[in-house]
Amino acid sequence: MRIIAVDPGFDRLGVAVLESKGNTVTLCHSGCITTRQEDELATRLRVIGDEVRRLIKTHKPEALAIEALFFNTNQKTALSVAAARGVVLYGAAENGLPVFEYTPGAVKVAVTGYGHAPKNQVAAMVKRLVAIDAPEQKLDDEFDAIAVGLTHLAHQKGLAS
């Protein structure tokens, strides 16, 4: 099974493509889709949408896994992230991909065993669970996207609850 996983964001959106064969998980791609703060909302959303479509066409995933939104106190940021997330969901629907959502707590439990694990603990476990080229060059958003993907694969195998 090959999936694309997304850690939603607006300035920077983490993406990862993972493939599972038996008990082996391979990271095929990870990165961040970045948008320029000086661009208009519509332009930034187009950048996200275009890149999601390109990744789907290039990697041909069977599903999309995405982290559910966690609303913080900054409403402007939450609305922008929600808009970016909507563009990602549209890209999945446009390509016939089923979408699976996981809460931040569910991702942390699946990867670390603890639902309140800090970001550095999530990143450390991701590095243990999947081979990553140049992990020191990866951003938190990439590790979060990989963690979302690992969560989905674990749920598909019935290994996580």
Q: Which residue numbers are catalytic?
A: 7, 67, 141
Q: What angle in degrees, to the nearest 10, is found between the helix axes of 104-112 and 119-129?
A: 50
Q: Rounded CA gap, 132 and 28, in Å?
A: 9
> Which residues make Cβ contacts (< 8 Å) with residue 107, sequence separation at least 6?
67, 122, 144, 147, 148, 151
Widest CA span in the chain? 45
